[in-house]
Chain A
Amino acid sequence: MGKCPNRKVKKRRFSHKTARLTKFLRKCDDAVYDELQKPDAEKKALPLEEDLPAMGQYYCLHCDRYFASLTVRDGHFKTKRHKKRLKQLVEAPHTQLDADLAAGMGMPDNGPKLMSI
C-alpha cells in the first residue's frame, strides 16, 4: 500500500487508490491492436461477468472500458478521448522486432521451413 502524499489528517495515511489499482489498469496498446487485427470470425461474444458494469456487455475495444448501458457507450464513442485513441491505433505499435531493426540488426534467421503447411 502506498502512502498518500500531502495528507493533513494523520489517521487516514494510506491511499485507497492503490487497493483498487486493477480498476485503473488498461490494456497495453499492442494487446489492443492485436485484438483489433483479429478477423471477425474469431471474435467471441462478450462473456457475462457479474463484477463488471452491466455484466460486461457494453465494451469499448479501443479504450478497454466497460459501460453501464448502450447510450453511455455510444456517448463515449463521440468523445475526443475515444477519437484520439482511434487515431493512435491505426499504425502498428512498436515491438521488440522494431527495436532490433532500429539497432542495426537484420531480420531473424529462422532457417529453412521443415514442415509445409
Chain B
Amino acid sequence: MRLEKCWFCSSIVYPGHGIQFVRNDAKIFRFCRSKCHKNFKMKRNPRKVKWTKAYRRLHGKDMTQDATFEFERKRNRPERYDRNLAENTLKAIKKIDKVRSDRAAGYIKKRLDKDKNKKQREAKKELEQGINLVKAPEAIRQDPSLTLPSKVKVQVQVEEKCHQMEE
C-alpha cells in the first residue's frame, strides 16, 4: 500500500480517496479532495496559496530542515524482504513520527513565542509614547496616579516571619 502525497496541498492521499488526473503527456496529478482538484483547475500556484504545505515551507512557517525528513522517501529499487528488518522498521516508524511531530510543534511554538514578546514590547512602547493623548503632560506631573502599571518588586519582610517562627 503506497500512500501518495497530494499535488496541491501535500497531504496524504489514502487508497480510495481523492482523485487522480492523468494529463495527455502521461503526467500524473493526485489530489486529496475536490478542494485541491478545483484549485488545480483554476491554475492556482500552491506556492502562493496560504494553506498549502508548499507555502508554509517557503515562508518559514514550518520546520524545513530536520534529520527526520530523511526517513520517508520514495524508493525506486526493489528491496529483498527481511522479516527482522520489517519488524524493526515498524517499531521505528512510531518513534520517528513522535520525534518529528514534537520537533515540528516545538518549532512553531518557538516562532510564535518570539512574536508574542515582540508584540508586547511594541504595545508597551506605544502606550508609553501615547499617554499624552489620554492626559496632558502637565496633569500627569501634578497627579502621577495615571501612569502605566509597572512591575514593582514587593519586599517580603523575611525578618518578621523569622521572628514569628521563633515564637
Interface positions of A (Cβ within 8 A of B): 28-31, 93-94, 96, 98-111
Contacts and interface: CB of A to CB of B under 8 A. Distances in A.
10 contacts: A94-B45, A94-B46, A96-B28, A103-B5, A105-B5, A105-B72, A109-B73, A110-B76, A110-B77, A111-B76
Contacts, number: 70
Nearest to B70: A106
Interface residues of B, number: 33
Interface of B: 5-8, 10-12, 23, 25, 27-30, 43, 45-47, 52-54, 56-57, 68-77, 100
A100 B75 contact: no
Contact of A105 (B29, B52, B69): B69
Given A100-B5, A103-B11, A103-B53, A31 B25 contact: yes
Given A31-B25, A94-B45, A106-B69, A99 B74 contact: no
A105 B25 contact: no
A106 B75 CA distance: 10
A94 B5 CA distance: 14
